[in-house]
Amino acid sequence: MKIKFEINGHPIEINENPKKKLSEYLKQNNYFSIKNGCNQGKCGSCTVLLNNNPVLSCLIPLAEIEQTQITTLEGFMKSDEYVDIEKAFKQKNINFCGYCNAGKIFITYKIIKHNPFITREEIKKEVSFLKCNCVELDSFANGIYLACAIRRNRIKDKLHAK
Ligand code: FES
Ligand code: FES
């Protein structure tokens, strides 16, 4: 089946089995941010943005991505929000092995975009589903909390500069 979509800003048409999962397609095409995770929607290591919202790509058949925009971590790294998140995680000394980077970064993106005044306790509830051996929940929540502040300030500065 022919499927048209955009990936990291580039239009593409592929001829694939519509039942194949998006995570499989991405791994086969060298999007290295997608890891070999649980394949059951339980670990977050296959997260991508679909029309700018985080989804677990191991649960999405290719048939469902027709005419959508997919962003992997590779594409997201060029965004201002990625820079905000990276800055916050560096300041809080949050280091990753890389296994669940995509899940961590995209859940942080969702929070800073949709709920920038969230409390640390609310953050912990929202991200507790991510299974990560590298970062404690408390320190991850602190990183997200700081990322919210950094993004708010960047937007405020931008508005004042106009
Ligand atoms: S590989 Fe998709 S959620 Fe674990
Ligand atoms: S970043 Fe290492 S397991 Fe999550």
- What are the tens digits of pLDDT across the range 128-154? 888 788 899 999 999 999 999 999 999
Say whether pLDDT at 157 is over 90. no
d(CA 64, CA 61): 6
CATH topology of domain 2-75: Ubiquitin-like (UB roll) (3.10.20)
- Tell me the backbone φ, ψ of residue 155, rounded to 5 degrees: -70, -40
CATH 2.40.50.100, applies to 80-161: no
For ligand 1, say whether the CB of 45 is within 6 Å of any of its atoms. Answer: yes
Give domain limits for the chain.
Answer: 2-75, 80-161
State which ligand 1 atom lies nearest to the alpha carbon of 57: 2
DSSP state string for 105-124: HHHHHHHHHH-TT--HHHHH
Give the number of residues written for the chain: 162
Predicted TM-score (pTM) of the model is 0.92
